[in-house]
Structure 1
């Protein structure tokens, strides 16, 4: 695995753990850090042996404070990879689950990373905001689109037009956080990942693809078209599609291969 300057990557079996490692700037992302994350998630997407990813931040203060505004102020711009902020927010073809372990502040693009993930686990001290309007920019890495879809229009506009900060507990109530923990947020994210890993990776990918595509079209159309989705076709043709019912009838745990 290649070495990175701003991000740490650890693989634990089929689980990839990605840690933004810039705690001195609250894990804000420079252009170089964006490029590293894009490369890391490219590799995760392409690796058949990697089934689930967790993304978190180094230290206890921040998950990610968004763009490195000091770089922008110095003329460095706001460039991001084609796959979006942190290589995730515009990666619309990733059918593998990604879990955000939010260990501190998730501001701007940092919150948009979490919104682009499938599951969000937050420490009790975590907080979330899209404060771009306060600094003369806008939440253009998916926040303007994902937040209304996840929590409803009026509640989203209440956050987007004021840039106000929301606690982890309020995020749970609003619905964009799955669980709040008092300590060891990464351990809690691992627990969720391990629950996913007990399931067929082929089924998980088919499920994520069908849900993601179905959100933007009528239900009748989604129910019909899901049979044409690649991940569903791959699930139906897989060894795992045979192994699951066989393991059930033999009263044993399934041995998933992801093929």
Structure 2
């Protein structure tokens, strides 16, 4: 299946899902949230993939959270990203999910790596929650 904002590759029993918006910090958009959920749901239904690695494209960002622009087009509520769908898909997977954090994991991106079973991070990775700064 072709995706607009993520990449998915299989190497034997290992699937790698890459958030693929490196020029924008791999920020979530509504489209990305739905694509991640759909990809993980497809992995859940098949038997080839035994473990999923979740990472961000580039070497600076894992994911720096959500992008507010375009949220009015989500299938849930206007102004709210469907991140919960994505997080629940990880929780339902019943296969190990490894976050490979290669840079900043901020806000929703930090929550994303917490939802995974294991996090492996570069020594230079930065984890941050920004909720208190958002008001």
**Normalised by the size of structure 1, how large is the TM-score?**
0.47
Rounded to whole Å, the distance in 2 between the matches of 1:94 and 1:59 is 26
Deviations 1:49-75 (A, max 9, x none): 1110000000111000111134459xx
Matched, 1:53 2:52: yes
CA contact (8 A) 1:67 1:78 kept: no
Within 5 Å, which residues of 2 pair with 1:110-121? Answer: 110-121=109-120
Instruction: Count residues with an aligned counterpart.
Output: 129
CA contact (8 A) 2:7 2:20 kept: yes
Question: Gaps spanning 5+ residues in structure 1: where?
Answer: 137-259
Rounded to whole Å, the distance in 2 between the matches of 1:114 and 1:41 is 15
Kindly state the Cα deviation for residue 130 of structure 1 after the two structures are TM-superposed. 1.2
Kindly state the Cα deviation for residue 125 of structure 1 after the two structures are TM-superposed. 1.3
Residue 78 of structure 1 corresponds to 80
Instruction: State the superposition RMSD in angstroms.
Output: 1.7
Rounded to whole Å, the distance in 1 between the matches of 2:60 and 2:131 is 20
Residue 90 of structure 1 corresponds to 88
| Structure with greater Cα Rg | 1
- Give the structure, 1 or 2, with the largest relative contact order (CA under 8 Å, sep 6 or more): 2
Rounded to whole Å, the distance in 2 between the matches of 1:39 and 1:54 is 16
Point out the structure with the larger strand share. 2
Rounded to whole Å, the distance in 1 between the matches of 2:131 and 2:43 is 30
Rounded to whole Å, the distance in 2 between the matches of 1:125 and 1:72 is 31
Rounded to whole Å, the distance in 2 between the matches of 1:108 and 1:94 is 23
Rounded to whole Å, the distance in 1 between the matches of 2:82 and 2:69 is 15
Deviations 1:115-136 (A, max 9, x none): 0001100011110111112112
CA contact (8 A) 2:25 2:61 kept: yes
Residue 23 of structure 2 corresponds to 24
Question: Gaps spanning 5+ residues in structure 2: where?
Answer: 73-77
CA contact (8 A) 1:7 1:37 kept: yes
Matched, 1:103 2:102: yes
Rounded to whole Å, the distance in 1 between the matches of 2:15 and 2:41 is 12
Rounded to whole Å, the distance in 2 between the matches of 1:3 and 1:93 is 23
